[in-house]
Chains A and B, each alone.
Chain A
Amino acid sequence: MSNSTKKDGDTDLRSLLKTQHKKVYAICRLFANNYREHQHLFTNIIAAASQNIRTRKDNSDDKQTMLYRACINMAALHSIALAMEPAQDRGIQFKSPDFQRSMTNFRDTMGLISDAEKFRLFLELENISQEEMVHLTGIQFNNRNVASRKETEPVKKNFIPYLKEKLIWN
């Protein structure tokens, strides 16, 4: 009985990972710079997600959270591991020409953004709400999205912040 339940659980887990694997590829696009890194990160996130889901078998919403947390935490570990390695060429190098082109264009548009912003961008692209973002990362993001903030950043310096205005005039 318990063996069949375990087997069913494993089958559920595998089918969930199979249907949700594009989410994992999505975060790999933001953090991996070459084919080897991409495959390594993908494998590790799937392994982490399966470990997370196995520890909690409550409901499907929880499984989604576990999957997202595995994506974010493994991507963070990937960045930490890269930061510990000696400096080397971090150019974008993928095997498939179409993927290489798409990746180069995407990274050029995205520009050099921090990992916190990458996490936010990933969650925004996955249509995750602000509350859910805090629940997943523990970071309090502000309401404006990453891309629009990049656009308005030089203008921001010309405005007097609301609080400063209040303090001066009251």
Chain B
Amino acid sequence: MELKKLLQQWNSFPEVSMEERPVLSSDLEKIVVKNPLSDAFYLRKKLTLRIAILSVLWLYNIWQFRHQWLTQGNELYPQGALFVALAAALYFHVRLLLFADYPTLLALPLVNFLNKLETIVDKYIVAYKFVSALAGFYLLFGIEALLSRVSAGAYETLSNNNWYKWLILIFLSVSFDILLLHTIIPRQRKLLETVKRYRDGIHARAQNK
């Protein structure tokens, strides 16, 4: 009875209206080349940009690391650690981009699509940890460069004391991570929570029947 009524009303919709007008070829030409995903869900550009930046930094780091290795410089261990961190970050981002596989993402069944979307957003949040760690390294190098110009004595003390360097590095990385946790990450977390809640809602409804 109810379905009959629904069907009746479904069929009573006007054949043509301002809302449901026939699609023009000129409109279609513009629409088919449009990206269907909004910025919040489409992380491809951001990931590609990060990969490009990481690649450049990694290449520069390889050159610096080699130089430190050959001269047995004071920055050998920090440069070595940065080499490992950049390689890991690069691997993580490339893997995430390949996993996301945006051209085929919307062709998945709903449940798989939501699961994959959740994983992408979750891993993207994890990727910020790499950003924090790398920011710690580059801020440390920045402080060292500044000290070398402002106070040569302080620079000498710092560059000869590895313990200070590692402690400052940890402090800067953690501080940058806290900064991200209060600025950019909450938006991503909200998106992740909404996707999770939606997926759970779909599952719960399907299982309650």
How would residues 166 to 209 of chain B score, 1 for a CB under 8 Å from any chain A CB and 0 otherwise? Answer: 00000000000000000000000011001101100111011001
Given contacts A98-B14, A148-B3, A150-B2, whether A140 and B206 have CB atoms under 8 Å apart is yes
* Contacts from B to A (Cβ < 8 Å): 1-3, 5-7, 9-10, 12-14, 17-20, 22-23, 25, 28-29, 31-38, 40-41, 103-104, 106-114, 190-191, 194-195, 197-198, 201-203, 205-206, 209
Per DSSP, are chain B's interface residues mostly helix, strand or loop, or mixed?
Answer: helix
- Chain B residue nearest to A139 (CB atoms) is B206
A-B contact pairs, 25 of them (CB 8 A): A14-B28, A14-B29, A43-B31, A43-B34, A51-B103, A69-B108, A73-B110, A76-B114, A77-B41, A83-B197, A95-B19, A96-B14, A98-B17, A99-B19, A99-B20, A102-B14, A103-B13, A106-B10, A106-B13, A121-B6, A136-B110, A141-B206, A147-B6, A151-B1, A151-B2
A77 touches which one: B37, B190, B205 (CB < 8 A)?
B37
- Count A/B pairs, Cβ under 8 Å: 172
13 extra A-B contacts, CB within 8 A, seeds A47-B34, A73-B108, A103-B13: A14-B28, A70-B107, A73-B110, A77-B41, A99-B14, A106-B10, A109-B2, A110-B6, A114-B201, A116-B202, A125-B10, A136-B110, A139-B110
Given contacts A115-B198, A115-B202, whether A74 and B14 have CB atoms under 8 Å apart is no
- Chain A residue nearest to B24 (CB atoms) is A18
A25 in the interface (beta carbon within 8 A): yes
Given contacts A18-B25, A69-B109, A136-B109, whether A79 and B198 have CB atoms under 8 Å apart is yes
* Contacts from A to B (Cβ < 8 Å): 10, 13-14, 17-18, 21-22, 25, 28-29, 35, 38-39, 43-48, 50-52, 54-56, 66, 69-70, 72-74, 76-77, 79-81, 83-84, 94-96, 98-99, 102-103, 105-106, 109-110, 114-117, 119, 121, 125, 135-142, 144-151
Say yes or no: B209 contacts A83, CB within 8 Å. Answer: no
Given contacts A116-B206, A145-B3, A148-B3, whether A80 and B198 have CB atoms under 8 Å apart is yes
- Chain B residue nearest to A21 (CB atoms) is B23
In the assembled complex, how far is the CB of residue A117 from the closest CB belonging to chain B, in whole angstroms?
Answer: 7
Say yes or no: A38 contacts B19, CB within 8 Å. Answer: yes
Top 5 A-B residue pairs of the complex, sorted by shortest distance between their CB atoms: A138-B111, A147-B3, A138-B109, A48-B36, A116-B205
Q: Which residues of B contact A115 (CB under 8 A)?
A: 198, 201-202, 205
In the assembled complex, how far is the CB of residue A46 from the closest CB belonging to chain B, in whole angstroms?
Answer: 5
Interchain CA distance A74-B14 in the complex, whole Å: 24
Q: Which residues of A contact B108 (CB under 8 A)?
A: 69, 73
- Chain A residue nearest to B29 (CB atoms) is A14
Say yes or no: B28 contacts A47, CB within 8 Å. Answer: no
